Amino acid sequence: MRTKVLMAEFIGTFAYVAAICGAALLGGQVADGGLHLALAAGFTFTAMCFALGGVSGCHFNPALTLGLVAAGRFETRTAVPYVIAQVLGGLFAAGCFALLIDGAPPQVAAPMASLANRFGTDGTFPFAAVLISESLAALLILLLFVGATSSGVPTGFAPIGLGFLIAALHLVLEPISHAALNPARATAIAVFADQQALLQLWLFWVAPIIGAVAGGLVGRWIND
């Protein structure tokens, strides 16, 4: 596999996680119900798709990569290097922001732990609600990705649709689980948050992957 393909996934995931960190940690005083965070996530994903989609296919999400394997759109042997590049990109972004906000006063920057994905604590919803919502969100992302990149669909519009969907899902899931949607994003934040976030991290791999694989299979059945 060419190095530039994996670098594209690294950069795209880095940008996506960095946008979320910046909006959430430095824009926490914005009273808009999380709209700025949702727009940052959606717009950045769309921008990176246009910038790097021609290189790597713009996954930027381990669940999306595995869902595309289930959909028959991606080779299994290529999935592992993609996932590694995505996780490393997310970790690098979160690490940069952890250094940036270290020692900053609370009125300037929120702590990294405030962005961690959780269930059953910290005002988030219980386990079952998070499992269902994160799984369904990943399923919808895969359905859109597979459908928008199928033959007969006008080309060039998939990044826009995906950006809108990711923004909408962020608005819905933020009060439920802090909107993981992406295991690489969840891992990156958890590593720099606290022990509880790390202990609960497994769900934010399992739920999106279950939903993504289901979405990939359904999308394959509908579109192929």
> Is the pLDDT score of 110 beyond 70?
yes
Compute the C-alpha angle 123/39/201, nearest 5°.
Answer: 40
Render pLDDT for 133-151 as a digit per residue (tens, 0 to 9). 999 999 999 999 999 888 7
Give the model's pLDDT for residue 107.
62
Per-domain residue ranges of the chain? 3-223
Give the model's pLDDT for residue 186.
96
Please tell me the distance from the alpha carbon of residue 164 to that of residue 179, in angstroms, as a whole number: 15
Mean local confidence (pLDDT), 78-94: 97
Q: Which two tokens stand for residue 11?
A: 């950069």
Render pLDDT for 30-50 as a digit per residue (tens, 0 to 9). 656 678 899 999 999 999 999
Mean local confidence (pLDDT), 83-98: 96
Specify the CATH superfamily of domain 3-223: Glycerol uptake facilitator protein. (1.20.1080.10)
Cβ atoms 9, 56 nearer than 8 A: yes
Which residue bears the tokens 């006008």? Answer: 154
Give the model's pLDDT for residue 63.
97
Mean local confidence (pLDDT), 190-211: 94
Give the model's pLDDT for residue 123.
61
Cβ atoms 20, 115 nearer than 8 A: yes
Give the model's pLDDT for residue 1.
61
Please tell me the distance from the alpha carbon of residue 133 to that of residue 173, in angstroms, as a whole number: 7
Q: What Rg do the C-alpha atoms of the chain give, in angstroms? A: 16
